[in-house]
Copies of this chain bind each other. A is one copy, B any other.
Amino acid sequence: MTINIALLGYGTVGKGVYRTIQQHQGRLQKLLSEEVKVVAILVRDIKKHTAPDQSVMLTNQYEKIQQLENIDVVIDAIVGIEPAATYLQSAIEKGRHVITANKEMFAEKSNILRELAKKYHVSVGYEATVAGGIPIIQTLKKLLNANKVTKVEGILNGTSNFILTKMREEQLSFDNALALAQKLGYAEADPTNDVEGFDAYYKAAILSELIYGEKPKSEQIERNGIASIAKSDITFFNELGLRYKHVATIEYAHSQVKCAVRPVLVESNHPLYQVEGVQNAIHIEADIVGSISLQGPGAGMYPTASAIIEDLIHLSEKDQEYTFNEESTLDQQRSAKTSWIAYGRSALQQLPEGAEIMKMIANDTWVVEIEGDLRIEDASLIQILGDATRLKEMKKIH
């Protein structure tokens, strides 16, 4: 028997999947007891591609793939919501398993695809949509069996992390670090998706749906980019031992899912501190096990292919329905103190009741603590991740 695959898209990810399947045929056959074969590849511009093998159908018309009768699995390695979502829906309706690496599409359409897959008794794999090769979806699924996840903090976009790393290491401005990322192929000509946090938000939304069974409501979403961070800010905080990171946070508080993608300052005692360059990492807080972190390649040809192959191998596994809301013990735990840098007297004057000014660490720069979350409609606040005791004990430096 053979598992026949149709591959949608033949860019970096598509090629990585094709090559991995070709090069590890023996391994896959032992695991699946069947041969795995890519029989069709969909590309946008047929003139720009050649079929990797004469037996593979290369086409620019999805209908031709839909009409093939022998396809078992459709792998989505294209970008953007449409036409990918429509293609996968029709694939599912024809009884085909689907696996996707398309985060924007899956963040938007996961519900529809999951419902449809249930109806047609097929699987939807999406390990590759979040943090490339890091097996975060599988790990969360396992953890969620025994644990309730109270919070996730992640560096989910390698491009913005690369830019912040280079700004600090080589004292580059945002524009110069971005230009370097573009030169190295880490950033697109239009970098909005990465540096403004849209890409990280898609991934956060997918994690939110897995962990809490729902996406955050729009009024519970905060999204701030990194383009306005000055080189001098990076240097200033680096001298204080703090690193800027573009972090996505998903948490459950007051019976609501909240999601924020924003620049924060990270203390060296926090696992996200040493996550540099294009690496991704995720820090998970769970009620029984405590805190766990995972770090690895967030993108790239083979890491993403590895995640897709994992999904291929687990296609037959039934998805557990998590029962997040059954015991609502989570709200009680959300009273931990958080630490913030507040800049300037106007920020201080707007601090809500309960916020405590701990220390002036430089002119017009204070460490502030509060129970829960601090929000002022103003850029003069930056959250500190990690234990900030050191800062509170520090002498004023300027």
Taking CB atoms, residues of chain B closer than 8 Å to A145 are: 31, 309-310, 313-314
A306 touches B135 (CB 8 A): no
Main SS of the interface on chain A?
mixed
User: Number of contacting residues on A, CB 8 A?
Assistant: 48
A146 within 8 A of B: yes
A271, B297: Cα distance in complex, Å: 12
A31 touches B294 (CB 8 A): no
Knowing A143-B135, A274-B268, the reply to whether A292 touches B296 (Cβ < 8 A) is yes
Interface residues of A in 270-299 (CB under 8 A from B): 271, 273-274, 276, 286, 288-297
Chain-B contact segment, one of A20-28, A195-203, A227-235: A20-28
Taking CB atoms, residues of chain B closer than 8 Å to A309 are: 145-146, 288
A349 within 8 A of B: no
Q: How far is the CB of A212 from chain B (nearest CB, A)?
A: 15
B146 touches A139 (CB 8 A): no
Q: A24-B146, A135-B142, A286-B306 are in contact. List 16 more A-B contacts (CB 8 A).
A: A24-B288, A26-B326, A27-B146, A27-B148, A31-B323, A133-B289, A135-B139, A135-B143, A138-B139, A269-B276, A271-B274, A288-B305, A289-B302, A289-B306, A291-B297, A293-B293
Residues of chain A at the chain B interface (Cβ within 8 Å):
20, 24, 26-27, 30-31, 133-135, 138-139, 142-143, 145-148, 268-269, 271, 273-274, 276, 286, 288-297, 300, 302-303, 305-307, 309-310, 313-314, 320, 323, 326-327
Q: Which 6 A-B pairs have the closest CB atoms?
A: A292-B296, A289-B306, A133-B289, A146-B309, A288-B306, A293-B295
